[in-house]
Amino acid sequence: MKTTGIAMLLLLTAATGATAKHKTTKGGKNAKDIVLVEAYTQRTLPGVPKAKLMTDTHFVIVWQATTAPETFFWRGDNGFLPCMMNRAHKIDLKKNPTMPRGIEYNIDENGGPRIHKGDTLMITPVTGGKFAIPKEIPEKAKNTLFYKTATPGWRSFVVTTIGKKADIAMP
C-alpha cells in the first residue's frame, strides 16, 4: 500500500512538472485562475469538394479558481470573439491508435455538471454575432482571454505563444 502511494505521488509530481513546461503565457492579474496547458491553431481540411477550409484557435486550460467560469471571450487578431467552453480529456493515443491524426482531445459538448477547480477545459473562439466590448476591457488588449466568474468584474489571461498543430483531414 505504501509503495502504491509513493508511486502515485511521483506520478502526480511528474504530471505537474509536464504541465508546467507547457505554460507559454505571462498571465495577467488573475493568472492564478488558469494554468495554460497549450494554445494552438489547427486547420480542418474538408472532405467535400468546394467546402470551406476552417482554421480554429484552441486553448486547453486547467481551471484553478474555486468559482466556476461563466463566460470566456478572446481578444486576438480577429477582434473580440465569444468562446465555447467545454470539458476536455486528453486521448491516450497508445490506447486509441485508430484515432484520426490531429485529434488529441475528447470534448464533453453537452455541458454536464458545473465546472470545478482542477477541470481541464477547451476554450475555442467562435466567429459570428456581434458583441459589444465591455468598457472594463482595454481597447488595446491583444492575445488575451477575458472571462467572468460569479465574482464581479472581468478577469484576464494573456497568451504569448500560440502553436500550430497538424491538420485534421475530414473523410
What value does the mean pLDDT of the chain take? 79
Q: Is 112 exposed, middle or buried (0-12, 13-18, 19+ CB in 10 A)?
A: exposed
pLDDT at 122 over 70: yes
Confidence of residue 28 (pLDDT cuts 50, 70, 90): low
Confidence of residue 137 (pLDDT cuts 50, 70, 90): confident
- Answer yes or no: are the C-beta atoms of 143 and 27 closer than 8 Å: no
The model's pTM: 0.76
How high is the pLDDT of residue 22? Answer: 31
- Answer yes or no: are the C-beta atoms of 149 and 155 closer than 8 Å: yes
How high is the pLDDT of residue 51? Answer: 80
Confidence of residue 139 (pLDDT cuts 50, 70, 90): confident
- Residue 32 is given by DSSP the state G
pLDDT at 83 over 70: yes
Per-residue pLDDT of 46-68, as tens digits, reads 888 878 878 899 999 999 999 99
- Find the mean pLDDT for residues 84-100: 87
Residue type, 8: M
pLDDT at 15 over 70: no
87 sits in which H/E element: strand 79-90
How high is the pLDDT of residue 6? Answer: 33
pLDDT at 18 over 80: no
How high is the pLDDT of residue 30? Answer: 52
**Nearest C-alpha neighbor of 75 from the set 156, 161, 165, 163:** 156
How high is the pLDDT of residue 29? Answer: 52
